[in-house]
Amino acid sequence: MSYDSANIFARILRGEIPCRKVYEDAHVLAFHDIQPQAPVHVLVVPRGAYLSWDDFHAAASDAEQAALSRAIGTVARLTGIDAGGYRVISNCGRNGHQEVPHLHVHVLGGRPMGRMVAKAE
Ligand code: 5GP
């Protein structure tokens, strides 16, 4: 999988497609997932063109890396799921079942999230 600047999150970042914004700063945009898997399901994405965590950690500045990490807690507080707890998921590559080839973090909460992963099929 390689970075494709036509991916849906790149288009959202360029303002070509609307999103329901939760938070933004110079390095990060966070918005509600279009097909929420929980009462709160927010995607946190770096503004830079990164595919995966290994790509991001190799190429992103310290400021970008700090901002992405910080935004997760900010989103939890802004959406009110901080008190009850939440789950943070990031799918990378084929085995990670990543569908959109732009690094992103799912922040899910508002209900008990169940066990961490399903058994392998
Ligand atoms: P992945 O499987 O790559 O980790 O997750 C991609 C996520 O992007 C999915 O949860 C999917 O619902 C979400 N998604 C796909 N297209 C759009 C879109 O156009 N807008 C928003 N807000 N979310 C999207």
Q: What is the DSSP string of 16-54?
A: SS---EEEE-SSEEEEE-SS-SSSEEEEEEESS---SHH
What is the structure's pLDDT at 95? 95
Task: Say if 111 falls within a structural domain.
Answer: no
In a domain, 113, yes or no: no
Q: Which domain holds residue 80?
A: 8-103
Task: With cut-offs at 50, 70 and 90, classify the pLDDT of residue 121.
Answer: low
pTM higher than 0.75 for the full model? yes
Q: How confident is the model at residue 2 (pLDDT cuts 50, 70, 90)?
A: confident
70 within some domain = yes
- Domain of residue 38, CATH code: 3.30.428.10
**Top mutation candidate among 12, 99, 108 for ligand 1, by most atoms within 8 Å of CB:** 99
Query: To test ligand 1's pocket by mutation, which of 1, 40, 43 has the most ligand atoms within 8 angstroms of CB?
Result: 43
- Please say whether the beta carbons of 103 and 55 come within 8 A: yes
